[in-house]
C-alpha cells in the first residue's frame, strides 16, 4: 500500500506534463472535452440575461395595460 502511494505521488508531475500513466495518455494541455459544455453554458447565460432585460422593460408595459383595462372596466360598470 505504501509503495503504491509512493508511486502515485512520484508519478503525479509526469501525469500533469502529459507523460504515460497507468490509464493511458494524459495530455491536459490539448484536452478540449469540456470546451463545448462551457460554450453552451455561456450562450445559455447570455440568452437568459437578454430575456431578463427584455422582460423587465416589457413588464412595465404589461402592468400599465392591465391597469388601464382595470380602470376602464371599473368606470364602465
pLDDT in tens, 3-61: 665 666 566 555 555 554 445 555 656 666 677 888 999 999 999 999 999 999 899 89
The pLDDT tens digits of the residues spanning 49-74 come to 999 999 998 998 999 999 999 999 98
Asked whether the whole model's pTM tops 0.85, one would answer no
DSSP letter for each residue of 18-47: T-EETTEE--TTT--TTHHHHHHHHHHHHH
Amino acid at each position: 500500500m505504501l509503495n503504491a502511494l509512493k508511486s502515485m505521488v512520484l508519478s503525479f508531475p509526469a501525469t500533469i506534463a502529459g507523460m504515460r500513466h497507468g490509464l493511458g495518455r494524459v495530455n491536459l494541455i490539448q484536452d478540449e472535452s469540456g470546451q463545448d459544455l462551457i460554450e453552451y453554458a455561456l450562450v445559455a447565460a447570455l440568452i437568459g440575461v437578454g430575456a431578463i432585460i427584455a422582460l423587465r422593460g416589457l413588464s412595465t408595459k404589461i402592468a400599465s395595460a392591465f391597469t388601464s383595462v382595470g380602470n376602464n372596466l371599473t368606470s364602465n360598470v
